[in-house]
Amino acid sequence: MTHRIAIAGSSGRMGRMLIEAVMAADDCTLAGALDLPTSPALGQDAAAFLGQESGVKITADLREGLAGADVLIDFTRPEGTLAHLAVCRELGVKAVIGTTGFTDAQKAEIDAVAQQVAVVMAPNMSVGVNVVLKLLDMAARALSEGYDIEIVEAHHRHKVDAPSGTALKMGEVVAAALGRDLKECAVYGREGVTGERDPSTIGFATVRGGDIVGDHTVLFAGTGERIEITHKSSSRATYAQGSLRAVRFLAGRPSGLFGMDDVLGMR
């Protein structure tokens, strides 16, 4: 079976990594390449940066870019992703969403779209990160008393949201395992005289700089010992390969909202 894939944000860093992965996959073909109306890459072959020809031109016309696709892979911005999904629903195109920074209301919009077309949405498409999420659930249950929990994440200087979607997902997994609501126990910044640490909280620290692809560490700090569960990405290729696994998972699924735990059979 050949999976016909359209890529959103096709001239960006992640978009190009996705195009390269699609071009290299035996069971995938590039069917569309979308970008902003202001992109200087409009009209160019989507694989030109690889020194190859895909026969697909980069376009800002959503219907044109999605017309021949089975699935859209989208790692853009929340507003753009929602606009793309509206057309996906209209055309019956499935979606793999790696965009982060959605509000609860926007997540509800995605859930509504998924009632008609199948969607995989995850704050991180890396297989390794999703295995780490399972490890965190187990660790949090075992270390539920006597351990302070802190989440530290680092990304490149261009990332616009903080904490990262992956860090927040890690916090949600840990909080759920402890029977807490992350919205009520998260601490996102400390400055000045803060007083002693509240043991019921989950702390977040954010680092932005250089070209860091993505580092995440969850620290369980107890008396006399510390347990650290860390994932470090050295290349965006891991997100691209995870996205293709999500595309393959969606084949034969007409509707529904899924996560990477579904894709990897870990739910």
Looking at the structure, tell me whether residues 29 and 110 fall in a common domain.
yes
CA 52, CA 129: separation in Å to the nearest integer? 31
Backbone φ and ψ of 21, nearest 5°? -65, -40
Beta-bridge partner residues of 218: 151, 229
Give 198: exposed, middle or buried? Use CB within 10 Å, 0-12, 13-18, 19+. Answer: exposed
CATH at 192 = 3.30.360.10
Range of the domain at 33: 3-121+236-263
Looking at the structure, tell me whether residues 49 and 106 fall in a common domain.
yes
Of how many residues is the chain composed?
Answer: 267
Looking at the structure, tell me whether residues 103 and 198 fall in a common domain.
no
Structure-model confidence comparison of residues 88 and 236, the more confident one: 88
Report the domain count for the chain: 2
Asked whether 105 and 241 are in contact (CB, 8 A), the reply is no
**Given 3, 84, 155, 231, the catalytic residue:** 155
3-state secondary structure of 166: helix
Looking at the structure, tell me whether residues 56 and 157 fall in a common domain.
no
pLDDT > 70: what percent of the chain? 100
Looking at the structure, tell me whether residues 93 and 167 fall in a common domain.
no
Looking at the structure, tell me whether residues 222 and 142 fall in a common domain.
yes
Q: Is residue 3 annotated as a catalytic residue, yes or no?
A: no
Structure-model confidence comparison of residues 189 and 6, the more confident one: 6
Task: Write down the residue that tokens 């187990």 correspond to.
Answer: 138
Name the pLDDT band for 123 (thresholds 50, 70, 90).
confident
Looking at the structure, tell me whether residues 52 and 131 fall in a common domain.
no
Looking at the structure, tell me whether residues 135 and 105 fall in a common domain.
no
Looking at the structure, tell me whether residues 117 and 20 fall in a common domain.
yes
Backbone φ and ψ of 83, nearest 5°? -65, -40
CA 199, CA 2: separation in Å to the nearest integer? 51
Looking at the structure, tell me whether residues 110 and 154 fall in a common domain.
no
pTM of the model: 0.84
- pLDDT score at 1: 87
Q: Is the pLDDT of residue 15 over 80?
A: yes
Q: Is the pLDDT of residue 91 over 90?
A: yes
Task: Read off the pLDDT of residues 224-238 as tens digits, 9 standing for 90 and up.
Answer: 999 999 999 999 899
Looking at the structure, tell me whether residues 166 and 225 fall in a common domain.
yes
Looking at the structure, tell me whether residues 105 and 134 fall in a common domain.
no
* HEC-encoded secondary structure of 99-148: CCCCCHHHHHHHHHHCCCCCEEECCCCCHHHHHHHHHHHHHHHHCCCCCE
CATH at 247 = 3.40.50.720
- pLDDT score at 117: 98
Q: Is residue 57 annotated as a catalytic residue, yes or no?
A: no
